[in-house]
Structure 1
Amino acid sequence: MSGHRIATRSGLAVAVLTAGLLVAPGTAAAATPTNLPVDQYTLSANYHQFDAVNASLASTLGVASVHSVMTNANHDRTGLPSSFSLPGLETGFRFDNGDNSDCRSYPQGITTSRDAVGTADSGNYDGHQLVVVSWYTRDACGGDHERSRLTLVDWDATYPNKYRKVLLVEPTGTATSPDFKDIPIHAGGVSWYGDHLYVADTGRGMRVFDMRKILRTNTGGDADQIGRGPDGEYYAHNYAYVLPQIGTITSNTTSGTRLSWSTISLDRVSRSMVMTEYTCSSGCASYPNRAPRAIRFPFAPGATTFAASTTATQALRLPWYKLNGVASHNGRWWYYSSGAKQLYYWTPSAGSTTYPFVSLGESISYWEDDTKPDLLWTLQEGAGNRNVFAVRQGTYDG
């Protein structure tokens, strides 16, 4: 059913009928997060894990700038369908038909060049305003995780409505015999800060990449081929570009239950990364059956990196389950539950508010703007219905 607005009076938020779902104004929620001991949650950072191999790969393959990658963007993004509507909807897009319907690959995390550089120069990184989405790919429809990738989407009227895929790889071998392999993780969250790109790795913490170190690869050969071939050329499933991992952020806890890094998001105001867990209240075989947590980890002073050891500055036990998305900005929090199809807004002083939201939603990225309303970017993963969209955060701030 086509979406349409329902008129209201007295300044009340509008409700929207989208695909047969009545999206109502927010309601106050009794449930609220509670504090946990911050000293139970720490990170160990290694940004130089693959330096020698990566230097050799860069010398052998050649480095491509983000601008060069986007100049060679080869996929067309399309507009949102006219039937898609919800309160505060500002803008958005869909991937091309192949990516929108692919039953092997699923979009998960989202970040933007405004995460990376802020609002200066319209949030341009290397001359481009970008929306970046992380994906995982299965070896067959419904199969096991096989690899992970990024989609770099131009979001700037200066350039065509194009995007390019970049494969995420882990360096292997040695400096004299460098190679790389697939990274078969869920990639449930991604955040870009400065030149560094952080990708959630569920049981470990985060993998770190450097956006200045995209490598060129050979697009010929077998689509299943990865790494150096018998002919000495490097292949990546026919991807023209790969982004090699530079390091690992390892999560540690003395709480007795390790963190499950389901998704992440950057908070530029407090210069920190926030994460949350996908858990169930009961009955799940593949996910923890317990209350989820949200943890805030600060970056090193004046840097876009974490210190060698970092202790959390905020730790929360949450009353909501099946959380795929989290965002925080200026003391405010948003959580998205794919199980409840709801977006929760919370501050320690005002409590929480619940908003009906989309189905099969994923991560959230906060988009700062100096002259227009700030936005929350998010997306849906369901095949055939992969809307990537931004809503005005003020519509969902209680």
Structure 2
Amino acid sequence: MSLRRSAPLAACAVAAAALVAPPAAVAAAGPSTLPASQYTLSADYHRFDAVNSALVSTLGTAPVRTVMDNANHDRTALPSTFAPTGLAGGFRFDSADNSDCKSYPQGITTSRDAVGTADGGNYDGHQLVVVSWYTKDACDGAQERSRLTLVDWDATYPNKYRKVLLVEPTGSTATPSFKDIPVHAGGVSWYGDYLYVAETGKGMRVFDMRKILKVDTGGTADQIGRQPDGSYHAHNYAYALPQVGTVTAATTSGTPLVWSTISLDRVSRSIVMTEYTCQSGCTSYPNRGPRAVRFPFAAGTPTFAATTTASQALSLPWYKLNGVASHNGRWWFASSGAKQLYYWTPSAGATTHAWVGSAESISYWEDGTGPDLLWSLQEGAGSRNVFAVEQAAYGS
């Protein structure tokens, strides 16, 4: 199956907020090592088993291929003024999602994370880009729910995407229900059948892509969960993905981790995370240096052991980090504040590259026949570009 990619764009003569100039990389200060043994995870993949079984029995599930067969939003092309170095392709959401002041895209992962390069990187027959979002109760309000967009990135299928609401199971086996998950969803990683969503102060929530629920539509936009008449609604979404487990972080360092974003490293079979912090002057975020930590999966599985100790921990010299990726001993860190992408290896040190504004998460795309890519996105309303650049343009 051929990959639907845009042709690399020519250098742009018109300055725009989304435009990135292509200066040469410059040397930068790099991370230092922290004691990895100070950071641990506790995983529970069965917390909601009973209620989830009842929900599946009551509502039934839709495989990913069915969700995408019913995709009902059109993705659009990147603007011609968007030209970061090494651009390999990408898209925008439809006009409503591109400009929505209540909902913001955050994390990014792909079916290449889930399955690697096997079968063209297809999961259930589709090559997908998945973006996590949070939604506020008003344009300047509080977070009230989180969702995914599943986007076809495959020449075999239309340029479509579908929204899926993230929900937490509630109720009992006799009357199962679910509720909204009001988290920032700053990072998302898909490995095997499991989807990991970062939760700022705690760790990660876990979802199973085989358990997408079919729910009722046609109700009011505020309806969520089981209704008095026995119907099930998810803010008029047709599909809801229930949480299956939790991965909770702990540390003996004296300073809890703030989970800004996550990314999958398929080579070392681990998830890496980093923190969003400020150098000074922030009231909503820590004013200190950030950390990046690597947590390995249990051998031969896409799940963490009941208790996991980190295999690598770093103290970082950069701030306002919304993106992280690691692959084959190399690291990338995206700063929304500095509009820079930092590349680092222990042997070669760090370099700095120009990057996009409103930068969010990063996902590493392995490619067996072409260049490896870095997928990323911008959250700013009106300029929500989801894009891939050739990895080699941002480090060896």
Q: Same fold (TM over 0.5)?
A: yes
SS of 1:121's partner is helix
Alignment of structure 1 residues 141-160 onto 2, 5 Å: 141-160=139-158
Once the two structures are superposed, residues 4-58 of structure 1 have per-residue CA deviations (whole angstroms, 9 ceiling, x without a partner) of 538xxxxxxxxx8752766132333331100000110000000000000000000
Residue 292 (structure 1) aligns with: 290
Residue 230 (structure 2) aligns with: 232
1:19 to 12, 16, 20: 16
Query: In the alignment, is residue 360 of structure 1 matched against residue 358 of structure 2?
Result: yes
1:250 to 238, 248, 257: 248
Give the counterpart letter for 2:169 in structure 1: P
Query: In the alignment, is residue 277 of structure 1 matched against residue 264 of structure 2?
Result: no
How far did 1:140 drift?
A: 0.3
Say if 1:4 and 1:17, in contact at 8 Å, map to a contact too: no
Residue 345 (structure 1) aligns with: 343
Once the two structures are superposed, residues 268-298 of structure 1 have per-residue CA deviations (whole angstroms, 9 ceiling, x without a partner) of 0000000000000011000000000000000
Residue 11 (structure 1) aligns with: none
Distance 1:117 1:221 in 2: 36
Distance 1:113 1:341 in 2: 27
Distance 2:14 2:206 in 1: 41
Query: Which residues of structure 2 form unaligned runs of 5+?
Result: 1-8
Residue 166 (structure 2) aligns with: 168
Give the counterpart letter for 1:291 in structure 2: G
Distance 2:317 2:129 in 1: 31
Residue 10 (structure 1) aligns with: none
Give the counterpart letter for 1:50 in structure 2: F
Query: In the alignment, is residue 5 of structure 1 matched against residue 11 of structure 2?
Result: yes
Give the counterpart letter for 1:19 in structure 2: A
Give the counterpart letter for 1:170 in structure 2: E
Distance 2:77 2:10 in 1: 18
Residue 332 (structure 2) aligns with: 334
Say if 1:56 and 1:175, in contact at 8 Å, map to a contact too: yes
Distance 1:5 1:228 in 2: 53
How far did 1:220 drift?
A: 1.5
Distance 1:73 1:315 in 2: 40
SS of 2:11's partner is strand
Q: What TM-score comes out, normalization by structure 1 length?
A: 0.96
SS of 1:301's partner is coil
Once the two structures are superposed, residues 50-100 of structure 1 have per-residue CA deviations (whole angstroms, 9 ceiling, x without a partner) of 000000000001110000000000000011011110110000000000000
Residue 133 (structure 2) aligns with: 135
1:55 to 50, 53, 56: 53
Residue 124 (structure 1) aligns with: 122
Residue 383 (structure 1) aligns with: 381
Say if 2:227 and 2:233, in contact at 8 Å, map to a contact too: yes
Say if 1:63 and 1:213, in contact at 8 Å, map to a contact too: yes
Say if 2:292 and 2:316, in contact at 8 Å, map to a contact too: yes
Distance 2:376 2:28 in 1: 25
Aligned sequence identity (%): 75
Give the counterpart letter for 2:379 in structure 1: E
Distance 1:52 1:316 in 2: 39
Cα distance change of structure 1 residues 4 and 160 upon mapping to structure 2, 3 Å threshold: closer
Distance 1:17 1:258 in 2: 44
Residue 201 (structure 1) aligns with: 199
Residue 85 (structure 2) aligns with: 87
Residue 394 (structure 1) aligns with: 392
Distance 1:382 1:129 in 2: 26
Give the counterpart letter for 2:267 in structure 1: V
Q: Which 4+ stretches in 1 moved above 3 angstroms?
A: none
Distance 1:106 1:257 in 2: 28
How far did 1:174 drift?
A: 1.2
Say if 2:127 and 2:154, in contact at 8 Å, map to a contact too: yes
SS of 1:64's partner is coil
Say if 1:17 and 1:23, in contact at 8 Å, map to a contact too: no
Q: What TM-score comes out, normalization by structure 2 length?
A: 0.96
Residue 109 (structure 1) aligns with: 107
SS of 1:230's partner is coil
Once the two structures are superposed, residues 169-196 of structure 1 have per-residue CA deviations (whole angstroms, 9 ceiling, x without a partner) of 0001111121100000000000000000
Distance 2:148 2:62 in 1: 15
Distance 2:382 2:112 in 1: 28
Say if 1:43 and 1:250, in contact at 8 Å, map to a contact too: yes
Say if 1:133 and 1:151, in contact at 8 Å, map to a contact too: yes
Cα distance change of structure 1 residues 151 and 309 upon mapping to structure 2, 3 Å threshold: same
Distance 1:394 1:378 in 2: 15
Distance 2:57 2:327 in 1: 40
